[in-house]
């Protein structure tokens, strides 16, 4: 596991002033909210004297002038690959190019390209990729909108991960200071080791305390004392996931359960590190830790490989068990200032994660059960009318892909058959099972997606509920009086 370092801020007053001015401009709205804005996260980091040495995203450019490829997809029909670029310089990904290339077949994401110019492209850790036994992520598991347009995420399930040895191409090594951030999801998580992004071992082995310096996001709390049930932003420093500066309670730690989450880590390499988190759609950063490194981690011993989606000693069957979602992230040389951190967060919230794509008549994707970290699922992809829905580990398959239509239906298409989420027998009492049935336009098949995270039946006014607040695979969905509990919290997409 990795860990993060904080370094003394060594920055000229001019540079510090520039980033403060930039932060003020973003926060007051003087910077454009379009993805074609002149300043993107890596421009902000550069202005603060901490340039990006690796910049990865499947959803948008991280430099205002970037017009190259974001990622590569490979289709199963003929094993041909295609690089997916941006709609315009500094803009969002060209999802239409992927859709055209992958039509009538399936695609996986083989490479996420480095936008920084250092050549730190990450490839999947498996045969034909960066080596190892893992597999690439499915390219169409999750679509979303950024800046009002459709894009795709890097949707990691157990056994998917990406890697590169970057120790000769700019990634900090030894006790050199480093910063990193990523935008991830608070609804597609688990406790498996370890959903990381950052600095890792070049030999893909657990080489001791301080050999890693990566952001971890998930529901694993190694040493106890994490507040709530997660997921949490922590530091994977190898030999431990740290929520603070020791193996004990950190009173500032808190869970981030929003659909889109900003996670940050910075480490000066010798004495201190900081962890920050936020809702990536609105608001500012919360400082979770800003203090000393844990005992035994000073100085840091970073090796300079890049890990995305697994722990450092990957592919040994123990550290590639995680699931998580990666939208964007960067690794920077140096210790970013708080003003830089704040300006990056402002840029992220201005990117419009999850906004309406317009003209589609609905929103599609997995319906995440927030309290369980799982997805609403049609058992065995059954097309039998009246099949009661359940929650199950998110897998990106069609039996978990729901569309909320303009007429408030929640539809799923299985084997060419479109079915609607349905209150069985038009029931309006607690315990009414929620099943799939032929779409008929009745009010027992109409669902309101509310701003508080609940999904309510238009006919009954009751909430979509996971029976008994269970978090187990196969727990059934039903209607129940709305009570504000986590087993009635859902996010679509």
Give the model confidence (pLDDT) of 118-144 as tens digits: 999 999 999 999 999 999 999 998 888
Is the per-residue pLDDT at 324 higher than 60?
yes
pLDDT of residue 357: 37
Angle at 109 between CA 104 and CA 111, to 5 degrees: 145
* Cα–Cα dist 247/477, whole Å: 38
What are the structure tokens assigned to 87, written together?
A: 């709609």
H/E segment holding residue 348: helix 338-350
Looking at residue 315, its pLDDT comes to: 66
The beta-strand segments (E) located in 406-493 are: 410-414, 417-423, 434-438, 447-449, 455-457, 463-466, 477-480, 490-492
Contacts of 427 (CB under 8 A, 6+ apart): 433, 444, 460, 479
Report field, pTM of the whole predicted structure over 0.85: no
Determine which one of 134, 236, 238, 341 is catalytic.
238
Q: Tell me: pLDDT of 31 over 80.
A: no
Least confident residue range of 5-9, 107-111, 133-137, 316-320? 5-9
Residue 286 has pLDDT above 70, yes or no: yes
Does the pLDDT of residue 4 top 70, yes or no? Answer: no
Neighbours of 224 (CB within 10 A): 9
The string of DSSP letters for 286-315 reads EEEEEEEPPTT-SS--B--EEEESS-SSTT
Show the domains of the chain with their CATH numbers: 13-350 (2.60.120.200), 363-492 (2.80.10.50)
Kind plus residue range of the DSSP H or E element containing 350: helix 338-350
Q: What does the pLDDT look like over 421-456, one tens digit per residue?
A: 999 999 999 999 999 999 988 889 989 887 677 898
Mean of per-residue pLDDT scores for the chain: 88
Which of 207, 313, 377, 465 is catalytic? The answer is 313
Going from the C-alpha of 282 to that of each of 22, 27, 398, 403, the distances in angstroms are 18, 11, 30, 24
Pairing mode of beta strands 328-333, 363-365: unpaired
C-alpha torsion 214→218→220→225, nearest 10: 90
Q: Any catalytic annotation for residue 238? A: yes
Q: Using a pLDDT cut of 70, give the percent of the chain over it.
A: 89
In the chain, the percentage of residues whose pLDDT exceeds 90 is: 71
């Amino acid at each position: 596991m990795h860990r993060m370092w904080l370094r003394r801020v060594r920055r000229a007053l001019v540079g510090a002033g520039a980033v403060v001015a930039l932060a003020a401009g973003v926060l007051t709205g003087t910077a454009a909210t379009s993805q074609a804005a002149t300043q993107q996260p890596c421009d902000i980091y550069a202005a603060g004297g901490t340039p990006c040495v690796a910049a990865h995203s499947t959803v948008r450019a991280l430099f205002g002038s970037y017009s190259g490829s974001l990622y590569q997809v490979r289709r199963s029909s003929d094993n041909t690959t295609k690089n997916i670029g941006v709609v315009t310089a500094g803009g969002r990904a060209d999802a239409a190019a992927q859709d055209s290339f992958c039509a009538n077949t399936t695609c996986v994401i083989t490479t996420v390209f480095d936008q920084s110019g250092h050549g730190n492209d990450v490839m999947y850790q498996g045969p034909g990729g960066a080596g190892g036994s893992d597999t690439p992520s499915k390219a169409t598991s999750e679509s979303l909108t950024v800046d009002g347009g459709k894009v795709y995420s890097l949707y990691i399930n157990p056994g998917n991960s990406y890697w590169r040895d970057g120790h000769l191409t700019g990634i900090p090594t030894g006790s050199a200071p480093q910063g990193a951030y990523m935008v991830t999801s608070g609804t597609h998580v688990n406790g498996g080791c370890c959903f990381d992004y950052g600095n890792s071992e070049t030999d893909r082995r657990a080489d001791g305390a301080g050999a890693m310096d990566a952001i971890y996001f998930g529901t694993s709390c190694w040493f106890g004392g994490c507040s709530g049930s997660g997921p949490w932003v922590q530091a994977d420093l190898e030999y431990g996931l740290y929520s603070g500066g020791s193996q004990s309670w950190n009173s500032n730690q808190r869970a981030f359960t929003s659909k889109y989450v900003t996670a940050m880590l910075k480490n000066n390499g010798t004495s201190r590190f900081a962890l920050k988190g936020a809702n990536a759609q609105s608001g500012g950063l919360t400082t979770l830790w800003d203090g000393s490194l844990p005992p035994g981690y000073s100085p840091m011993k970073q090796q300079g490989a890049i890990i995305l989606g697994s722990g450092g000693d990957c592919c040994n069957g123990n550290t590639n068990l995680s699931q998580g979602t990666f939208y964007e992230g960067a690794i920077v040389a140096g210790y970013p200032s708080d003003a830089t951190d704040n300006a990056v967060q402002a840029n992220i919230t201005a990117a419009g994660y999850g906004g309406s794509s317009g003209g589609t008549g609905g929103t599609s994707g997995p319906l995440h059960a927030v309290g369980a970290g799982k997805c609403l699922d049609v058992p065995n992809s059954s097309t039998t009318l009246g099949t009661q829905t359940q929650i199950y580990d998110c897998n990106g398959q069609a039996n978990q892909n729901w569309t909320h239509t303009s007429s408030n239906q929640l539809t799923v298409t299985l084997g060419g058959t479109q079915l609607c989420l349905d209150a069985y027998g038009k029931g309006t009492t607690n315990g009414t099972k929620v099943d799939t049935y032929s779409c008929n336009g009745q009010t027992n098949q109409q669902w309101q997606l509310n701003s508080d995270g609940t999904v309510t039946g238009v006919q009954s006014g009751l909430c979509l509920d996971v029976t008994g607040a269970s978090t187990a695979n196969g727990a059934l969905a039903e209607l129940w009086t709305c009570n504000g509990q986590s087993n009635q919290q859902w996010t679509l997409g």
